[in-house]
Amino acid sequence: MVVMPILAPSILSADFARLGSHAQEAIDAGAEWLHIDVMDGHFVPNISIGPLVVRALRPLADRTGVVLDVHLMIHNPEKYIDRFAESGSDIITVHVETCHDLSATLERIRSAGAKPGVTLNPDTPLHTIENVLGQVDLVLIMSVNPGFGGQGYIPTSTRKIRQLRALLDETDSHAHLEVDGGIKPDNILEVVEAGADVIVAGSAVFGGADPVSTNVEALKSAWSVTA
Q: Span 184-194, mean pLDDT?
A: 96
Q: Is residue 12 part of a domain?
A: yes
pLDDT for the residue 226? 41
Q: Is residue 80 part of a domain?
A: yes
d(Cα 160, Cα 59) in Å, to the nearest integer?
36
Specify whether 37 is catalytic.
yes
Q: By C-alpha distance, which of 144, 146, 113 is closest to 41? A: 146
Contact 2, 223 (CB under 8 A): yes
Q: Is residue 116 part of a domain?
A: yes
pLDDT in tens, 26-57: 999 999 999 999 998 788 877 788 999 999 99
Q: Is residue 115 part of a domain?
A: yes
* 66 has a pLDDT exceeding 80: yes
Q: Which of 28, 37, 40, 186 is catalytic?
A: 37
What CATH number should be reported for the domain holding residue 211? 3.20.20.70
Q: Which of 123, 180, 197, 210 is catalytic?
A: 180
Q: Span 118-124, mean pLDDT?
A: 95
Higher pLDDT, 210 or 152: 210
* 1 has a pLDDT exceeding 60: no
Q: Is residue 24 part of a domain?
A: yes
* 9 has a pLDDT exceeding 80: yes
Q: By C-alpha distance, which of 193, 145, 199 is closest to 176? A: 199
- The fraction of the chain above a pLDDT of 90, given in percent, is 87
Number of structural domains (the chain) is 1
Specify whether 137 is catalytic.
no
Q: Is residue 1 part of a domain?
A: no
pLDDT for the residue 102? 96
Please, what's the b/e burial string for 37-75 (b: 16 or more CB within 10 A of its CB; e: otherwise)?
bbbbeebbeeebbbbebbbebeebbeeeebbbbbbbbbe
Residue ranges making up the domain that contains 41:
6-223
Q: Span 132-151, mean pLDDT?
A: 88
- Res. 2 pLDDT band, cuts 50 70 90: very low
Q: Is residue 130 part of a domain?
A: yes
Residues near 24 by Cβ (< 8 Å), separated by ≥ 6?
60, 64
